[in-house]
Structure 1
């Protein structure tokens, strides 16, 4: 390489290093959010990941390095207390001066009701639109989701399951919010959040605003392409029926009109009651469920119990991307992996 090229390369490295050094200190809670933030910051800086993706965010103990990253953060992006109630006080204590963005509360975010029941009446694919009425909301950019989710929850067919009252009694005093916090599994939400993230970063770092918004626009375009890819993957198995380990996927289900028949555990992944397990086993036996899906963050023993005596297949869904490299590419690969895992299991 000539001396001139070496000099230009050295200068470019210095400029790149300067841009990186001047970027604000940014932290995010879970790997999918970290991925979206990293996509917006690409070429400018790198956010810190607070909760490692191999662990459940519902219950987590911060490592010293993660606590230090949070303490140093000037901006913090997180889903919110509905997912990690334990993190709310931690943020207030360790990062009292940070600009905190609670993504679940941002304008334009689709929010769905937290579901307590084990069985989802929307499992009947032929009557899907009539059963839960969400198809109109889906076509209309998911408007009025809070109202719709309440209607769907009231019509979930509780009268068919006399043991539901006992199941709810088993969850008395359990700490979870009103909304399902797994909102990152809606690519529509992800596209909204890319803009939110770019706006917050630009306010803190106006010199790099152009890069942030350009990255957000490119990220949205990538997700739009991904949505078509996922829909094509799911199309051949849309008549299939599946049970998930815990109720983390209804945002994905709504975005792609591909509904689960039930969940072994509720959305906070708390231990299911015997009545809930019995209800799931009954549905598998009566309706010929094709697939029961486990998760890498939780004990697979419950899935084995549910599958006992059935012919259903089993597979793994990973809502956090625990086996993926953290960074800009994790989010699209996570969504892609969900679709391929579902299609492969059925």
Structure 2
């Protein structure tokens, strides 16, 4: 009797929901998602170590990863144009969370000047001048992620012509700096959205996702506190970055950056740009110039010519760090250590 009842009992038991196949665009986002997933799964990443999301074209294996995804977390098309063009077609069956478009995401305006206003309190931490109601979130529900239509029409670069002037290199100069993951406040705010999207796809593990998000937030807070202490001696130091990808980090920690060799979209600088930067370095006595592993460092010579200035490496993607749940706190710590180490020489 027990033997005959067992199949019926098994049929009456609801099938456990599977942990969704999850894909991210860049390593810092992968780290945040991994911290929420914990032991339940490991999200993939589309932009490999050493590549720049500004111009990375998906390899066939990366396209297949995107095609098989049930959940996609990415910054947005202003950072990764090729991924933006592919998501709507390759990941048509996935739930897509565009982090830059979330109402919780704080934005800073793109800087188009050769030399930044170092030392001024121009960074607006309240971001009141960026009204998120102006963004079209019709493709999002209340926790910020997309459903069946994914709002992809909103992310098609053909629809950005009115707002973005495209230069000769095919880059888009958006009104807002797309390097939003370098704000620890943004990263912490995204954790709940990530947990919500995962919980909707996998409700049986919702409590685990929520608990993991809370733990991850505490770890980010601890890393930020440590970074503030590390960077305290560097508050008045001037330095140059290879490309203007660190504005959110600068705003979070009150740093004074003289300028960038490449602008926010990684556009190649003009000779006049390099000359102005070289003169500014000589005038201010900038302590350091930071190279990046994603770009050829030869342009640094144009800025250091005639100047005694240290050169070190800074990476907005944390390419040398171990991927996984602890990535983002280690990322904040690594950036702070590198800036303090070079500017304090």
Alignment TM-score, normalising by the size of structure 2: 0.82
Name whichever of 259-268 and 171-180 sits farther off.
171-180
Tell me, yes or no, if structure 1 residue 71 matches structure 2 residue 67.
yes
Task: Please give the residue correspondences for 1:3-82 in structure 2 after superposition, counting only pairs within 5 Å.
Answer: 22-82=18-78
Deviations 1:274-315 (A, max 9, x none): 111011011001111111111011001011221111011111
Provide the rounded CA distance (Å) in 2 between the counterparts of 1:312 and 1:45: 45
Tell me, yes or no, if structure 1 residue 248 matches structure 2 residue 245.
yes
Provide the rounded CA distance (Å) in 2 between the counterparts of 1:242 and 1:249: 12
Q: Structure 1 residues 252, 171: closer, same or farther in 2, change over 3 A?
A: farther
Tell me, yes or no, if structure 1 residue 222 matches structure 2 residue 219.
yes
Structure 1 regions of 5+ residues with no counterpart? Answer: 1-17, 148-167
CA shift, 1:143, in A, is 3.8
CA shift, 1:234, in A, is 0.5
Q: Structure 1 residues 171, 288: closer, same or farther in 2, change over 3 A?
A: farther
Instruction: Pick the structure with more helix per residue.
Output: 1
Provide the rounded CA distance (Å) in 2 between the counterparts of 1:174 and 1:340: 31
Aligned residue in 2 for 1:295: 292
Q: Structure 1 residues 25, 174: closer, same or farther in 2, change over 3 A?
A: closer
Name whichever of 230-239 and 329-338 sits farther off.
329-338
CA shift, 1:115, in A, is 1.2
Contact 2:278 2:302 in 1 (8 A): no
Aligned residue in 1 for 2:112: 116
Aligned residue in 1 for 2:5: none
Aligned residue in 2 for 1:144: 128
Q: 1:262 aligns to what SS in structure 2?
A: strand
Deviations 1:312-335 (A, max 9, x none): 111110010111222112221111
Provide the rounded CA distance (Å) in 1 between the counterparts of 2:268 and 2:300: 12
Aligned residue in 1 for 2:177: 180
Aligned residue in 2 for 1:208: 205
Q: 1:91 aligns to what SS in structure 2?
A: helix
Task: Select 2:340's aligned residue among 298, 322, 343.
Answer: 343
CA shift, 1:169, in A, is 11
Aligned residue in 2 for 1:7: none
Provide the rounded CA distance (Å) in 2 between the counterparts of 1:73 and 1:305: 44
Q: 2:39 aligns to what SS in structure 1?
A: coil
Q: 1:220 aligns to what SS in structure 2?
A: helix
CA shift, 1:145, in A, is 4.8
CA-atom RMSD in angstroms: 2.0
Deviations 1:107-164 (A, max 9, x none): 211111111111111x13xxx33xx2x4xx43xxx341537xxxxxxxxxxxxxxxxx
Aligned residue in 2 for 1:189: 186
CA shift, 1:174, in A, is 4.1
Deviations 1:249-295 (A, max 9, x none): 00001111112111111011111001110110110011111111110
CA shift, 1:171, in A, is 6.4
Contact 1:54 1:323 in 2 (8 A): no
Q: 1:22 aligns to what SS in structure 2?
A: coil
CA shift, 1:170, in A, is 7.6
Provide the rounded CA distance (Å) in 1 between the counterparts of 2:220 and 2:171: 35
Tell me, yes or no, if structure 1 residue 233 matches structure 2 residue 230.
yes
Deviations 1:161-212 (A, max 9, x none): xxxxxxx998697423221111111111000011110011111111110010
Provide the rounded CA distance (Å) in 2 between the counterparts of 1:250 and 1:63: 30
Q: 1:43 aligns to what SS in structure 2?
A: helix
